[in-house]
Every structure is written in C-alpha cells, then in structure tokens.
Amino acid sequence: MHRRTILIGGGIAAVAAAAAGVAAYRASRTRERDAAALLALVLPDLSGREQPLAQWRGKILVVNFWATWCGPCREEMPHFVRAQAEHAATGLQFVGIAVDQVDKVRQFTDELGVNYPILIGGYGAIELSRALGNSVGALPFTIVLDRQGAVVWTHLGAVKEPQFNTLLAGLLTPA
C-alpha cells in the first residue's frame, strides 16, 4: 500500500515534470517564433524612413522599448549610449523602439545625444513585447538577441548597469 502510494506519487511527479518540460519546450519554441517576429519588424526611424530590424541580424542586438513619458526609461538611456560607444566595433547594436510621438522623441534623443537608431513603434510594439515576456505591457522593456537571433535575455524595468555589463561582456567574448 505504502509502496503503491510512493509509486503513484513518483508517477505523478514524473508526469508533472514531463508536462513542465513540454511547456518549457513549447515556450522556447514560441519565443523563437516571437524573436523571428521581432527581427521581421519594419518601423520608421525619426526621419520617417522604414528600417527593417533584420538589417542588424548577426549582431548582438539590444532592443529597448521606451517612451519619453516613462521616467525610468529616460534614466537608463545614458548607460545604453555609453555601452554603444564602447562596444560598437565588436558588433553590439542597440535599437530603441519608442512608444511615443516623433517630436517628443526627437527632442529627447537630441538632448541626450543618443548614438543608436531610434524607431517609432506605437502600441503594436507593446503587444509584441507582451509576446516576448512583458506580460503587463509596461516600459522600459529590454530584449537581448545573440548573433544567431535567439532571445538570450529579457528585462522589464530599467536594467542594472553592472549586471547588464556582465551579460554583454559574456556575449561579446568570442567563443
């Protein structure tokens, strides 16, 4: 009796673990698809020219969803500007997707001296970020893709500079 209970318990645990494994596998497959959807995006830049995100495939791509009406977004951007300047030669590419009006975005990015492309995303961009793990649809939201185009990191809220630098250093080191 006792033995059977344990067997059933073990069986249930194994089934649960298998189900969790399948769920994780499905989640990772879904995220591959969503990463592909992200790279398939074509959004206008500040001069209105359409920019496909696929042009940065092969780089370590940091996609940052932000807006001028989001204080925490503005606060983390000087760090991105520094990282972009420091690592551009080794294939690090930041891209900002602003969920905002173009004039506000232009004013802010000029003031800050942003040295990476800023695209205008609208609320559709937030919906895409939801699919990539931003379940409440808030900003800032940052996604890092490796050189193969796989999502390696996502983060809601301002990134912590030391932690983020460590992540970038790991990705930038040639394997």
Q: Which is nearer to another protein, 2 or 49 (CB)?
A: 2
Q: How far is the CB of 143 from another protein (least distance, A)?
A: 9
Residue 172 neighbours by CB distance under 10 Å:
14
Q: Is-contact 64 139, C-beta < 8 A?
A: no
Decide if residue 4 touches another protein (CB under 8 A). no
31-60 residues near another protein, rule: CB under 8 A: 31
Q: Which is nearer to another protein, 25 or 115 (CB)?
A: 25
Of the candidate residues 27, 37, 40, 169, the single one contacting another protein (CB under 8 A): 27
Of the candidate residues 60, 61, 67, 118, the single one contacting another protein (CB under 8 A): 67
Query: Rounded to an integer, what distance in angstroms lies between the CA atom of residue 91 and that of residue 113?
Result: 20
94-113 residues near another protein, rule: CB under 8 A: 99, 108, 111
Residues in the chain: 175
Residue 35 neighbours by CB distance under 10 Å:
22
DSSP conformational letter for 157:
S
